[in-house]
């Protein structure tokens, strides 16, 4: 099939390129509209208790969006300030869509800040306004609030913070992608030996991203897609497309040295093309592991991620070979001397002279080949040492991670919405945690309610209990202020304690801490199913590639070690603050609660990517070397196959890792802490995976297991030999291409 695809790409290269060019143009013209249809996506599914509590409170005490102004650096009772606030208040009440304006001078319960030189103005808008109309009213309200006669007026609120997050996410995506693409072009030219050869993966990535934006535009018609989703999905699409294109181009350069371009392209598709297909299908299927968690944000991320992977795979299997067929005269083979290789030699010659290293006559084994040779000489100690080091790196996450919802604290410190959040917390809330809210469905005057309130007030985590006034009907809403910080251990313990009370009244527990508890419990309950899905995915696709049932289990264990070590490093940097200043991050004492789940799936996908790249070549070498050998000879052949496979494919994997690190480093150029966590985490995971895991742990374990690496039960072995074996034993040779094509 893949040989036929290779021949088709050679014959029909112009129509294929034209089709992708059409997608690129359509994506440039229409895909940008996706940003006008982005929406806020909830972290939790609607049936979570905290979500039900929030909806019940909205029915009992309906309240629209709120805009808050902090009036600072002036005596709150200065007559000129009092007059100015009154004038602005009248103007605000005249704005259609403004329901209520509260301030220190005209409503009960006005508040003065702890510095005695600040006060609040609170503007409530009508509930249920369409987003566009609400944003227009918010802009008008913000402009009027700035007319208050004070040295500084800070305007913010929850919806304004969400808008600021969305706008910053779009800016970060544009900045990160543009810089990443520029750096990628330079890296690819150096790796592939020429400007046109280096441009092919980049062109494929641009086409795939344009098609992804079109797909996301269509996805917005069936589900909510957030700004964060677009950021992650587009950069993931760029990274995977470059990876796949790099593998195909590198194998074409290798095959080109031994034959004519048409034959080289067909052989490339039967080898590297098969690897791209298996890897793409495995990574796309692994996104179902994210969908298993069922939360709206993760579901949108799963669908968008699967779409990006499918399009990256399609570009690698169609656009890249078509471009190679068109530009093969300008793609040097792996042994060719080009201006890039000469420039590289000039740059490295002084270093080699100082280090007394003789020049190489051909391509060397690369980093992975050298690491593999070291690991094979002492496989036992290497395997144990690497495993222990990775587990030590994982300890901060396993024993000290604090996961919390990102709120305005995820915004950069200089943004106004973030400053409003910080001032409110410090000067008006005395640094206290956000309340845990209890909704009780009973007559507030009943004995049962009084007993419940007494029990709530005596819980050790509670420092203040305050029932809300004017709740209609037989219902009561109680705010419990916990010890500690918002979302901290005390808040979560209070949520669990209230839910565990043995009492007869129906109640719901809501608030930020309850949302965090619900999210953690939801993820924990669905994690076994997600792991099972990923194990099945890895088992099916890696078995199709290798004929082994041992390798999928080993791959999952290695991926788990990589992920846990990565999360441990994230805790040290983003939660504890070690080195955070170098990344331009202000630690807030926690990781975003979605970060571990997103990294779980993305790290698994990329780990599968590199696993497939390497194992495909190792399997190819093993089958060639192990035929007609004694058991001892096959064991030696297995070790040589591992070394040969890592030496031949290692440079490609290393180059792919460099490229994808460049892509994800684009995340660090933005301002959003949650996005930086993903970018930094992916870079750490790729570096660990490509060097420590693939370079040392993989060859060490393969050497220790020997022929057991390729073990499978007899029925599965016969199935593999029947469906896959003939293709491996009888490689396809390219057919002549008709003249004129």
The three-state (H, E, C) secondary structure of 323-379, written as one string:
HHHHHHHHCCCCCCCCHHHHHHHHHHHHHHHHHCCCCCCCCCCHHHHHHHHHHHHCH
Give residue-wise pLDDT tens across range 43-61. Answer: 788 889 999 999 999 999 9
Read off the tokens for 260: 């004519």
The sign one gets for the Cα dihedral 519, 521, 524, 528 is negative
Helices 379-400 and 550-570, packing angle to 10 deg: 50
DSSP structure class, residue 94: T
CA atoms within 13 A on the CB side of 76: 17
Are residues 596 and 403 in contact, defined by beta-carbon separation less than 8 angstroms?
yes
Helices 274-291 and 595-626, packing angle to 10 deg: 150
Average pLDDT score over residue span 404-418 = 80
Give residue-wise pLDDT tens across range 206-239. Answer: 999 899 888 888 878 777 777 667 777 777 888 8
546 burial via Cβ count (<10 Å: 0-12, 13-18, 19+): buried
Q: Which residues make Cβ contacts (< 8 Å) with residue 367, sequence separation at least 6?
A: 650, 651, 654, 691, 695
Question: Where do the domains of the chain lie, and which CATH numbers do they carry?
Answer: 49-156 (3.30.70.1380), 367-417+547-723 (1.20.1640), 435-510 (3.30.70)
Give residue-wise pLDDT tens across range 296-339. Answer: 777 778 888 888 899 999 999 999 999 999 988 888 776 666 65
Give residue-wise pLDDT tens across range 23-42. Answer: 999 888 877 777 777 766 77
CA atoms within 13 A on the CB side of 482: 26
Give me the pLDDT at residue 44, please: 82
Sheet of 507-510, strands arranged across: 462-467, 476-482, 436-440, 507-510
Q: Is the pLDDT of residue 449 over 90?
A: yes
Give me the pLDDT at residue 52, please: 94
Average pLDDT, the chain: 84
Confidence of residue 735 (pLDDT cuts 50, 70, 90): very low
Q: Is the pLDDT of residue 349 over 60?
A: no
Q: Is the pLDDT of residue 273 over 60?
A: yes
Q: What DSSP string runs through 272-332? A: IIHHHHHHHHHHHHHHHHHHTT--HHHHHHHHHHHHHHHHHHHIIIIIHHHHHHHHGGGS-
Are residues 658 and 711 in contact, defined by beta-carbon separation less than 8 angstroms?
no
Are residues 225 and 38 in contact, defined by beta-carbon separation less than 8 angstroms?
yes
Are residues 65 and 159 in contact, defined by beta-carbon separation less than 8 angstroms?
yes
Confidence of residue 728 (pLDDT cuts 50, 70, 90): low
Q: Is the pLDDT of residue 487 over 90?
A: no
Read off the tokens for 587: 């630690």
Please report where in the chains the tokens 């993966």 appear, as a residue.
201
Count of helix runs (H) and strand runs (E) in the chain? 26, 10
Calculate what percentage of the chain has a pLDDT beyond 70: 90
Q: Which helix (H) or strand (E) holds 19?
A: helix 13-30
> What span, in angstroms and rounded, lies between the C-alpha atoms of 516 and 593?
8
Q: Is the pLDDT of residue 356 over 60?
A: no
Judged by phi (left if over 0) then psi (alpha if -120 to 50, else beta), residue 60 lies in alpha
Question: How far is C-alpha 381 from the geometric centre of its chain's CA atoms?
Answer: 34
> What span, in angstroms and rounded, lies between the C-alpha atoms of 321 and 309?
18
> What span, in angstroms and rounded, lies between the C-alpha atoms of 116 and 77?
10
Give me the pLDDT at residue 354, please: 45
How many other β-carbons are positioned within 10 Å of the β-carbon of residue 170?
15
SS3 label, residue 526: helix
Among 171-185, 238-252, 569-583, whose mean pLDDT is lowest? 171-185
Q: Which residues make Cβ contacts (< 8 Å) with residue 724, sequence separation at least 6?
A: 544, 547
Q: Is the pLDDT of residue 732 over 50?
A: no
Q: What is each CA distance from 485 to 434, 435, 471, 512, 592, in whole angstroms?
A: 8, 10, 28, 11, 15
Give me the pLDDT at residue 386, please: 94
* pTM (predicted TM-score): 0.80
Confidence of residue 184 (pLDDT cuts 50, 70, 90): confident
Give residue-wise pLDDT tens across range 576-598. Answer: 999 888 888 888 788 888 888 87
Give me the pLDDT at residue 633, please: 53
SS3 label, residue 705: helix
Confidence of residue 463 (pLDDT cuts 50, 70, 90): very high
Q: Is the pLDDT of residue 696 over 80?
A: yes
Beta bridge partners of 112: 119
324 or 293, greater pLDDT = 324
């Amino acid at each position: 099939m893949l040989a036929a695809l290779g021949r088709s790409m050679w014959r029909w290269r112009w129509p294929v390129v034209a089709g992708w060019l059409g997608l690129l143009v359509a994506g440039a013209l229409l895909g940008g509209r996706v940003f006008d249809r982005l929406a806020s996506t909830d972290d939790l599914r609607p049936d979570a208790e905290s979500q039900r509590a929030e909806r019940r409170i909205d029915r009992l005490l309906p309240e629209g969006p709120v805009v808050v102004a902090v009036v600072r650096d002036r005596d709150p009772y200065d007559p000129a300030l009092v007059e100015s606030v009154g004038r602005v208040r009248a103007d605000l009440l005249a704005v259609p869509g403004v329901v209520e304006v509260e301030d220190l001078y005209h409503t009960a319960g006005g508040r003065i800040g702890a510095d005695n030189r600040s006060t609040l103005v609170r503007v409530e808008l009508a509930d249920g306004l369409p987003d566009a109309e609400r944003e227009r009213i918010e802009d008008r309200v913000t402009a009027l609030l700035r007319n208050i006669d004070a040295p500084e007026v800070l305007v913010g609120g929850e919806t304004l913070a969400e808008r600021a997050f969305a706008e910053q996410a779009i800016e970060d995506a544009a900045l990160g992608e543009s810089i990443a693409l520029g750096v990628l072009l330079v890296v690819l030219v150096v790796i592939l030996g020429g400007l046109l050869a280096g441009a092919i993966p980049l062109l494929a990535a641009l086409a795939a991203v344009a098609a992804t934006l079109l797909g996301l535009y269509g996805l917005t018609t069936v589900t909510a897609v957030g700004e964060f989703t677009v950021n992650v999905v587009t950069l993931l699409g760029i990274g995977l497309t470059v990876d796949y294109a790099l593998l195909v181009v590198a194998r074409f350069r290798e095959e080109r040295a031994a034959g004519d371009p048409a034959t080289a392209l067909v052989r490339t598709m039967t080898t590297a093309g098969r690897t791209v297909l298996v890897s793409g299908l495995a990574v796309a299927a692994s996104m179902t592991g994210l969908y298993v968690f069922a939360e709206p944000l993760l579901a949108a991320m799963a669908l968008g991620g699967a779409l990006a992977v499918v399009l990256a795979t399609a570009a690698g299997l169609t656009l890249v070979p078509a471009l190679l067929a068109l530009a093969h005269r300008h793609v040097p083979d792996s042994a060719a001397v080009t201006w890039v290789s000469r420039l590289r030699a000039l740059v490295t010659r002084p270093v080699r002279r100082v280090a007394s290293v003789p020049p190489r006559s051909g391509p060397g084994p690369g980093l992975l080949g050298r690491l593999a040779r070291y690991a094979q000489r002492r496989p036992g100690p290497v395997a144990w040492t690497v495993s222990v080091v990775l587990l030590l790196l994982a300890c901060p996450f396993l024993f000290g991670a604090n996961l919390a919802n990102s709120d305005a604290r995820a915004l950069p410190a200089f943004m106004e919405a973030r400053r409003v959040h910080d001032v409110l917390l410090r000067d008006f809330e005395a640094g206290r945690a956000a309340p845990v809210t209890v909704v009780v469905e009973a007559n507030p005057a009943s004995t049962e309610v009084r007993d419940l309130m007494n029990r709530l007030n005596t819980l050790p985590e509670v420092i203040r209990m305050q029932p809300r006034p004017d709740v209609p009907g037989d219902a009561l809403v109680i705010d419990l202020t916990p010890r500690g910080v918002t979302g901290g251990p005390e808040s979560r313990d209070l949520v669990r304690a209230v839910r565990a009370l043995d009492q007869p009244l129906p109640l719901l527990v809501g608030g930020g801490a309850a949302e965090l508890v619900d999210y953690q419990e939801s993820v924990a309950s669905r994690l076994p199913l997600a792991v099972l899905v990923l194990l099945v995915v890895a088992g099916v696709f890696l078995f199709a590639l290798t004929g082994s049932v041992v390798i999928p289990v080993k791959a999952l264990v290695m991926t788990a070690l990589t992920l846990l070590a990565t999360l441990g490093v994230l805790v040290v940097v983003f939660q504890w603050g070690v080195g955070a200043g170098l990344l331009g991050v202000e630690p807030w004492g926690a990781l975003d609660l979605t970060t571990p789940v997103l990294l779980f799936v993305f790290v698994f996908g990329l780990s599968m990517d590199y696993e497939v790249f390497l194992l495909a070549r190792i399997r190819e070498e093993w089958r060639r070397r192990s035929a007609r050998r004694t058991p001892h000879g096959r064991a030696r052949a297995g070790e040589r196959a591992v070394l040969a496979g890592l030496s031949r494919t290692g440079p490609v994997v290393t180059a792919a890792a460099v490229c994808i690190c460049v892509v994800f480093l684009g995340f660090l150029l933005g301002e959003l802490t949650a996005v930086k966590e993903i970018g930094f985490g992916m870079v750490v995971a790729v570096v660990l995976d490509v060097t420590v895991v693939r370079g040392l742990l993989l060859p060490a374990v393969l050497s220790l297991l020997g022929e057991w690496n390729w073990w499978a039960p007899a029925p599965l072995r016969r199935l593999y030999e029947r469906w896959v074996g003939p293709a491996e034993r009888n490689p396809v040779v390219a057919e002549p291409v008709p003249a004129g094509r």
